[in-house]
Amino acid sequence: MMITLVLLGTLSAPGQDDGAAPSVSQTVLEFARSNLGRKVGNGECATLAIEGLKKAGTQPHFKDGGVVWGAERGSIEEAQPGDIIQFANVTFIVRKKLPRGGMSTFTYSFPRHTAILAAIKKAKGDGPPVLTILHQNAGLVDQPEEERRKVSEWTIDLKDLQNGDLTAFEPGKR
Alpha carbon dihedral 31, 129, 155, 13, in 10-degree steps, equals -30
pLDDT of residue 144: 95
Tens place of pLDDT per residue across the chain (174 aa): 443 333 333 334 444 455 677 899 999 999 999 999 999 999 999 999 999 999 999 999 888 888 899 999 999 999 999 999 999 999 999 999 999 999 999 999 999 999 999 999 998 888 899 999 999 999 988 999 999 999 999 999 999 999 999 999 999 887
pTM summary value: 0.85
The C-alpha atoms of residue 124 and residue 112 are separated, in whole angstroms, by 29
pLDDT of residue 10: 38
pLDDT of residue 14: 45
pLDDT of residue 16: 47
Closest alpha carbon to 151 in 104, 106, 116: 116
